[in-house]
Structure 1
Amino acid sequence: MQVVEKTRHINATLSGRGIPLIKEAILKAYPKAIIREDDTDEEYIDWDESDLAKEIRAERTPGLVLAAYREREGLTLVQLAEKVGTKYTAISAMENNRRPIGLIMAKKLGKALNVDYKKFLE
């Protein structure tokens, strides 16, 4: 059995007679959870090992990560620049990978975007 919940990805393998009670408890706690039942995991692959995940990681740059988090927060370049105390052209240059994101700026961006600053240094 595989349990899938939109914000928390949980993989669990269960066996025995208590499975219906466990399923009921999961669905009570997470009404939108999807429980998939099958005897084999052959059709499932580990996301981190998939070709798509590897391709995304290879193409992910600090600038793209910055742009994604800025958009997630619904901020414009100007608004983010004001929050971190820089010019919008500097933010644009970072997002387009024309300017590196240093440690101090990464910390300011992390605070402004509600994310771990290390995301901008990877």
Structure 2
Amino acid sequence: MSPETVVSGEEAAEVLAYAEPIAENVMQGFNEGNYTMYSRDFSAEMKRSLDAAAFERNRDLTRSKIGLYVAKESPVVTDAGEYIAVNYRAKFEGEDGVALRFVFRKDDPSHELHGLWFNSPKLRG
């Protein structure tokens, strides 16, 4: 896998134009425990690997360690070869600075989500 490079300017603005509403929808679905909302923009592969049961388990574990999502800030867009990623620092009820990563395939005009990660010291602990 090649190293990621930071994307800025107009290219980053174009990515954020579609990624921001998707990220907000995912996080709102997470907070509400609404899998339909949470997975609305998932690719078929994502829906298979993160089905409703897995969502419930992951959500319960995340909530028990860091609580519900509060806000995200400082998006950084990175180019990862055939993928583009949007990385945020997020605040949850029980931890600030949680890394959120949303990954999209560059050649996908529907902007389906192909990867989603939450990462923080408390989640790893």
Short-chain TM bin: under 0.3
Which structure shows the higher helix fraction? 1
Which structure shows the higher strand fraction? 2
Q: TM-score, normalised by structure 2?
A: 0.26
Task: State the structure with bigger RCO (CA 8 A, min sep 6), 1 or 2.
Answer: 2
